[in-house]
Structure 1
């Protein structure tokens, strides 16, 4: 009932907002004061910002104290013009970066309006933020080298961020921060969330992928927020990336590139023998982009393409087996592992009228990767890992007076689908010798997201200083389509063990088979809602306070409608089971479908400050504290349902059908069992072993972290130096433990009369601690080099 009412309220509230629906900050802000030479505030002035590249203009009036705020500026180079009737206009040029707030004060001299405007130099250094953040500028994105044009590599410029798997043969590229796993991060591109709700990696498309999440030539710049980010950001207890894409300008321009890498650029693995040859590898990175005006100053187009084509070769080599077993020689050789990725991006930017703009963008990512063989695994076992992500984003922005309304509606489809190359060949695994036959598992994960968001900013409120108040809400509607065919193609395991009665003798027959069958469909739906209020308050020209409160709710993070089968509940609560295990399993692990409501306690206060020790803001103290909630991804929670509706069984064989050395029952081996049909027959006749039972605690809370920071920032000429202490304490990480350990602590109690083998229960008691000192030195762009160093 609560979920239905909340959904209705959220939809009504969204519809009540004017035309728009925007996401996390992908814009910048310029604010400051206009005064006359005596220091008196000018209350009837105006500041106009004109984007030099696109001609788009915005303006803001001054308030009674002479202050002004230009919020929601698209990152870029702007000419600011401060005007007042009877005064000489003053101009300056500034670079607005994503998520940044620049303070620009003007002093206007009395004079006739027709006189030439006075031009002064503006500062592009953001010194007043309370966030622990690093901006990666357009020149850094364009010029800094990366191994494979993956923009995630550049997050290493931010102190405290680590990149995992930066190797040519890596099959997953992720980043993390604050002693938390990669699933705790979030990435926003043009305001659209790329959160991976169903699989590992944190970013949609990054689980088990060699590819890049987005074309680098379409990324203009991005901001890495490692701590103390504002209340408008959601679903992350660790770091966040907020990126903005390239746009067309008033001048047609384009570029193209090609980078090739061959075997000559690859070093030999130092752990291999000196006689081993270098691996064969070839890679081509290519791309092109074009952008320009369709209507000057109003409608602009940008489009880009990037391709990532890799050919690596895997050597397959088997040892010789004893006579009369398997001839492995036909499986030896060198085989191609092709990886192919195509990235496309297109964007239209339309200035509807002064103060109102519309932006439409679409990007798509398509990958195929033939892999999972090499060494002692034959090419027969290869799989094709198919990975697709398509995102469409529509953004609208409108300003009137002291009001700014930003909005985004986005749709995203993510599809991860590894399929076997030879799905009908049963697998045979000869321990210590080699694996032949087809891949055992296929999976099909799809995440479909419709996201609506609106942010409303008011900068006209003045009480004991200037306030910029922002309120927003979001509603995400998701469908998860999941099919997991675990071990649907059986694998028979062989051993060299010669102990008759426990295993079959020396590779002559399998001692074990693993086989999965049942209903693989785990599809479900989920809704996510969030609302926040934040205030950037300047009680004095030197002090800035960022105060905010966020609340998030999720309807179905833990398969909330799941019903524990009665036979599982009765067996676990029986005296026989309770007296035989180390600890009894509480009733909170059983649900009738209504005992697992969505968590409603995700209130997240966030408070930050910055204080300039001098009028020029040369030295600034800053710090803050915040609570940040994340979520548990779907694949980490679905075993509760999956293991009972789709069983992955282990058949144990022997030559005589007697129990094995561990006392577990075996089946007397027959050559006729070496097929999928034979295993189906054993299951139908009730010979199959029991499945494992997974149980999730109904009181499981989503993971969250408490973060705090305190630092000092100093401008030294062209350099900005900062030192920041940061602390992070994360709570409620999800893990699993055995629930059927014997009373002596050993694993594990099993009873043939029970409907399961093992009991595995969840725990949300994983915690992490993180303390660090970040030191960062930055040099802004000055027509030569643009660099940053942090540690």
Structure 2
């Protein structure tokens, strides 16, 4: 009954729906069955057996003698062929790797069918069946290479044709963005797909970045393959490469591991910049433990799953403690200051005098005057209850600090503490020789707490990642030549952040806020407010957010062998869903304090340095600045779906030539917000009701002052989804995304294959590219401390006397966000289109050393302008280039003209409820009236004009593990150019320039070497049992990675001379003098403003630091008895302690221009990691 349900009914229903995913990690064995004369033997039966699991896959040679066994779990196999009148042929020792397509030909000799001929030979190393380019990281390297925090994704960097673009300090397995921060063959970092057992394991982050939604424990990773150029139509949903990871399956023998690893402060070298500043090492503590267990499912006296049902389970736990102090001010008020006594500050200078805002009065020239507090002491009778109570949460300083009390809270004990656990289960079951299924469930959780500067509920951050994944897969052999594969996967990745958990639902009346205000804050989103005094550590360290991302994926793929053709066709469907909910201090109140009310004697007098003292006094008096507000942020629930179809024909034209011919089609539905809480479009033709009056005001007051335009028009307005007949989809999506794929593999002799391919790929739109835009659905209510600049109507005692504004949503229509910055969706976006091609040759040398040489090219069009993360960056309201200053030097006449004030034609024309400056200021700048839409700030949308191109030459070698060692290395020489940034905001086209992710040289080398010591080895072979255990079982492994640094990104600087002189010779380049600064103008008054920029964004020869990293491991395996051993390993990460440096300072007006200024080096100093592992 179960088989009937799982085969015809489920298969037909899924096929009818046309659902599927297409990134396959399992392998294929194919080949020809011939007799000694070379004639094919149609009808020969073939059995392919996984020798670890005992499971069998049946196939039959067709009329061309070709057989094929598909969906083979990576592992060891044997192939047996039989036919009437011939002896059986058995080929053993075949290793199927991730996404392999192996050609195993068998020759049957005449004889009785009960006789057999066994051939043990090496697994074919040449890729004679496919043109796709990729690197396999096999099980031995996954298990034995040194890994930071045991993170298996670190080994993606060992692949050919990749470069690392992430942050090397974020290398723990729960750092989802940076551990997959790899650019692949001309596609930018974080744009490649990652699959586990063929199912996607990615989510998206802000800025169109692919992140790892789940990372498996290393003990469960069988191996993985990084495919930088694939020409199989089965692969889609990515504009980069694909990393296919195969998880371990259970076998017929019980097996497992148990391990414990740790790092300590004493195991670390000191940071480069700590040494430079004579600071000690920071305190680090890291512990991780875990293990795995697998085998046949066995229930005593009930069920034995040998050769039939298998399980594999793994677990990983981690505890990590490290310094983290994100606030650089390191200053809190002194006890005296919290009690109103600022007299000590006067010793540092008279600029620290505190003035009494309640003595404010009108003065000459439209100014306002205040009296100083006598002795710089505020009388207790003037203390605001809320301000005084808020200050009680600030701790006592740890030191006196400098003369002004600065840096009095440099607390080295402020620590990030991370807790992490990871579980994964997999069960494989063979329903019959024709049908097998597997299911997998995985979960991890990361909880971090940090920035609790005050050691109470007023500060602190709680940060969480929660990942869940589930996979079901069914392979059904309809006939020996036809196989159907269906399945479903689900992943959920939650990013959550909050302030101190003890502050959730904080009762504001405890601080002294009135109940009328406290009752306006829902308990489920409230927290301790943020009191932000300029120059001091604030309360409220993080905004609250909960953002789950779901990915539903289903598949139905059919494989058919017909003659010399292996044809695959499939359907796929992915549903991407994301919700977001906001809470915390922003929803409770952000109260900013500076020198606005406490400087003097006039309101435009100089402030104290960084408002020190004066900002504390403002809090104590309960007088926030006008920038204080309370937010009402909209939640959202968005979804986008994609549907794909493919057909692939792998045609064995001749024994030497294979063609890979494919066609793929993808259609993506537009992004939707469940309740239409999103901006849709911008209508530039709409005329605001007050436009005629504004034009009349301009004619009367401005026409003579602005001669470049004849009038001013209040044009443009936002439209919204799902109202006024507008669609609920946020844009139109392309419907012609056909992707042809072509590859060929031609075998030249037995040891050489020539390969070439071409393919078109499309990126994505929807939830994976941008989130909904909620202008109008979120609302900030700003404090109004005073109306006349003398009497205070809004204080901490009653900060919002008129209540908190309710967001209007789409009800504001075309008047939404007048006078503010707006963003909208391009209604006809283009999906990034990648054209990738490759030409390469493989050759196997004596000793099974594989050489792989490839040229790869990539041209991508329709890229969003600006690659830095925000796709909505094209400002349609930029000042046109024709008005910019064109002098190569600062043109003060031109600049003063543009920034000069003129009467504001929009003054007094505000729609009801709008208090933006464009309507309340009597004057405005001349340049603000020269933009296309003067009644708005920036008018931003996405633009697909960008493009890039890439060429690379890659040489790779691989020696699979044999005779005690394995080695793999590759060198990539490449050039990556792009045109997806505007040099000037109003430029009509992007600038062609070297890519910010160009790295012309990258070299990677990894290997494992068993030392020739002990029993069965070259040295000490005859040692006794005890001595053999001591001297035997030692091995070395390591990874070396070298990568040229990325080009530096320049601002709008003023340089006179030859730019080639900026580069310093390598022997002169230091952190204190990274490049030659001589030609740059460093005078602030000379810097360019409002000019037509000509200085390039980047130069190929001016780059940041290179990566030069070596990780080493010394491993000792000690055999306990048959099948059991203890492993000790010592891993030296960054073994030679090569420091990496962040980019140098590129602002010419700073004193640190041209130097590297940082508190930490890029990447960690040398770390020693010790591990004890039990293996059975």
Measured against the shorter chain, the TM-score band is 0.7 to 0.9
Report the Cα distance in structure 2 between the residues aligned to 1:132 and 1:193, rounded to whole angstroms: 20
> Superposition pairs for residues 318-397 of structure 1, below 5 Å?
318-319=330-331, 324=342, 329-330=396-397, 333=411, 334-371=413-450, 380-397=458-475
Partner of 1:148 in structure 2?
Answer: 149
Partner of 1:660 in structure 2?
Answer: none
Structure-2 change in CA distance of 1:705 and 1:648 (3 Å): farther
Q: Comparing 627-636 with 16-25, which one deviates more in the overlay?
A: 16-25
DSSP 3-state at the match of 2:919: coil
Report the Cα distance in structure 2 between the residues aligned to 1:619 and 1:722, rounded to whole angstroms: 10
DSSP 3-state at the match of 1:318: coil
> Superposition pairs for residues 686-701 of structure 1, below 5 Å?
691-701=820-830
Q: Comparing 415-424 with 46-55, which one deviates more in the overlay?
A: 415-424
Structure-2 change in CA distance of 1:537 and 1:12 (3 Å): closer
1:398 aligns with 2:500: no
Deviation (angstroms), 1:168: 5.7
1:739 aligns with 2:876: yes
Deviations 1:554-596 (A, max 9, x none): 2233769656489997368968799799999999998763382
Contact 1:542 1:611 in 2 (8 A): yes
> Superposition pairs for residues 444-593 of structure 1, below 5 Å?
444-459=546-561, 461-462=562-563, 466-485=564-583, 487-494=586-593, 501=603, 505-506=607-608, 507=611, 508=614, 509=618, 511=625, 513=627, 515=629, 517-557=631-671, 564=680, 570=686, 593=726
Structure-2 change in CA distance of 1:704 and 1:650 (3 Å): farther
Structure number with the higher strand fraction is: 1
Structure-2 change in CA distance of 1:320 and 1:120 (3 Å): closer
Find 1:626's aligned residue among 726, 751, 759: 759
Partner of 2:293 in structure 1?
Answer: 290
Find 1:638's aligned residue among 734, 753, 771: 771
> Superposition pairs for residues 263-302 of structure 1, below 5 Å?
263-272=265-274, 273-294=276-297, 295-302=305-312
Partner of 1:427 in structure 2?
Answer: 530
Partner of 2:1167 in structure 1?
Answer: none
Structure-2 change in CA distance of 1:320 and 1:254 (3 Å): closer
Contact 1:132 1:228 in 2 (8 A): yes
Deviations 1:436-477 (A, max 9, x none): 111352222112233211110001x23xxx111100001223
Q: Comparing 523-532 with 388-397, which one deviates more in the overlay?
A: 523-532
Partner of 1:3 in structure 2?
Answer: none
Deviation (angstroms), 1:526: 2.7
Report the Cα distance in structure 1 between the residues aligned to 2:159 and 2:243, rounded to whole angstroms: 11
> Superposition pairs for residues 147-166 of structure 1, below 5 Å?
147-163=148-164, 164-166=166-168
Partner of 1:711 in structure 2?
Answer: 840
Partner of 2:197 in structure 1?
Answer: 190
> Superposition pairs for residues 123-138 of structure 1, below 5 Å?
123-128=123-128, 129-138=130-139
Report the Cα distance in structure 1 between the residues aligned to 2:670 and 2:110, rounded to whole angstroms: 63
Deviation (angstroms), 1:342: 0.8
Report the Cα distance in structure 2 between the residues aligned to 1:582 and 1:420, rounded to whole angstroms: 47
Partner of 1:221 in structure 2?
Answer: 223
Report the Cα distance in structure 2 between the residues aligned to 1:276 and 1:679, rounded to whole angstroms: 51
Larger CA Rg, structure 1 vs 2? 2
Report the Cα distance in structure 2 between the residues aligned to 1:198 and 1:61, rounded to whole angstroms: 47
DSSP 3-state at the match of 1:58: strand
DSSP 3-state at the match of 2:800: helix
Partner of 1:663 in structure 2?
Answer: none
Contact 1:707 1:729 in 2 (8 A): yes
Structure-2 change in CA distance of 1:548 and 1:13 (3 Å): farther
Report the Cα distance in structure 1 between the residues aligned to 2:438 and 2:311, rounded to whole angstroms: 10
Structure-2 change in CA distance of 1:159 and 1:501 (3 Å): farther
Report the Cα distance in structure 1 between the residues aligned to 2:533 and 2:768, rounded to whole angstroms: 30
Report the Cα distance in structure 1 between the residues aligned to 2:626 and 2:845, rounded to whole angstroms: 69
Deviations 1:304-356 (A, max 9, x none): 10112111133577247797388774465322311111110011110100121
Deviation (angstroms), 1:88: 1.9
Contact 2:687 2:715 in 1 (8 A): no
What's the TM-score once normalised by structure 2's chain length?
0.59
DSSP 3-state at the match of 2:553: strand
Report the Cα distance in structure 1 between the residues aligned to 2:966 and 2:806, rounded to whole angstroms: 69
1:727 aligns with 2:857: yes
Partner of 1:112 in structure 2?
Answer: 112
Structure 2: gaps of 5 or more residues: 1-9, 298-304, 343-353, 355-390, 398-408, 505-526, 619-623, 696-707, 809-816, 865-870, 885-894, 905-916, 921-933, 972-1176
Q: Comparing 644-653 with 21-30, which one deviates more in the overlay?
A: 644-653
Find 1:752's aligned residue among 919, 922, 927: 919
Deviation (angstroms), 1:780: 1.4
Partner of 1:85 in structure 2?
Answer: 84
Partner of 1:176 in structure 2?
Answer: 182
Q: Comparing 176-185 with 26-35, which one deviates more in the overlay?
A: 176-185
Contact 1:503 1:655 in 2 (8 A): no
Q: CA RMSD in A?
A: 3.8
Contact 1:46 1:82 in 2 (8 A): yes
Deviations 1:150-172 (A, max 9, x none): 22111111122233222268754
Contact 1:440 1:490 in 2 (8 A): no
Structure-2 change in CA distance of 1:139 and 1:201 (3 Å): farther
Q: Comparing 179-188 with 576-585, which one deviates more in the overlay?
A: 576-585
Report the Cα distance in structure 2 between the residues aligned to 1:417 and 1:241, rounded to whole angstroms: 27
What's the TM-score once normalised by structure 1's chain length?
0.86
Deviation (angstroms), 1:694: 0.8
Structure-2 change in CA distance of 1:514 and 1:627 (3 Å): farther
Deviation (angstroms), 1:691: 4.6
Deviation (angstroms), 1:378: 10
Report the Cα distance in structure 1 between the residues aligned to 2:19 and 2:575, rounded to whole angstroms: 17
Report the Cα distance in structure 2 between the residues aligned to 1:503 and 1:489, rounded to whole angstroms: 33
Report the Cα distance in structure 2 between the residues aligned to 1:555 and 1:581, rounded to whole angstroms: 42
Deviation (angstroms), 1:358: 1.0
Structure-2 change in CA distance of 1:496 and 1:533 (3 Å): same
Deviations 1:51-97 (A, max 9, x none): 11100011211122222222221111001112222222222220011
Contact 2:81 2:88 in 1 (8 A): yes
Partner of 1:678 in structure 2?
Answer: 800
1:611 aligns with 2:746: yes
Contact 1:501 1:656 in 2 (8 A): no
Partner of 1:788 in structure 2?
Answer: 968
> Superposition pairs for residues 230-269 of structure 1, below 5 Å?
230-269=232-271
Report the Cα distance in structure 2 between the residues aligned to 1:585 and 1:144, rounded to whole angstroms: 62
